């Protein structure tokens, strides 16, 4: 069996998210703010991200349910 080198949507999403994280980290490290201000700002971003990530499973569940209902509706 030959290995496949397919680029999937999952790979693209992971690469985009990784690039965003690395870019944001570089921006914070190179910004001319004090360490205390930068740490506070980072803490705020991490708290926002944590809250957003905690809502993801429910969002996927809702989207999956809506897609299932849309597929089951009779077509006109």
Residue 64 forms part of a structural domain: yes
Q: Which residue would you say has higher pLDDT here, 6 or 23?
A: 23
Q: pLDDT tens digits for 35-70?
A: 788 788 889 988 998 888 888 888 888 888 888 887
Total structural domains within the chain: 1
Q: What is the pLDDT of residue 3?
A: 63
List, as one string, the DSSP characters of 16-70.
Answer: HHHHHHHHHHHHHHHSSS-HHHHHHHHHHHHHHHHHHHHHHHHHHHHHHHHHHHH
**What's the confidence (pLDDT) of residue 2?**
61
Residue 66 lies in a domain: yes
Contact 38, 28 (CB under 8 A): yes
**3 falls within a domain:** no
Give me the pLDDT at residue 69, please. Answer: 80
User: Could you tell me the residue range of the domain that residue 38 belongs to?
Assistant: 9-72
Q: 3-class SS at 75?
A: coil
Q: Which pLDDT value is given to residue 26?
A: 87
């Amino acid at each position: 069996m030959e290995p496949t080198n397919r680029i999937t949507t999952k790979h693209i999403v992971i690469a985009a998210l990784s690039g965003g994280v690395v870019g944001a980290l570089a921006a914070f490290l190179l910004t001319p703010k004090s360490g205390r201000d930068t740490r506070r700002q980072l803490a705020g971003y991490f708290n926002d991200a944590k809250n957003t990530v905690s809502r993801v499973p429910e969002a996927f569940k809702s989207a999956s349910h809506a897609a299932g209902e849309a597929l089951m509706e009779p077509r006109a």
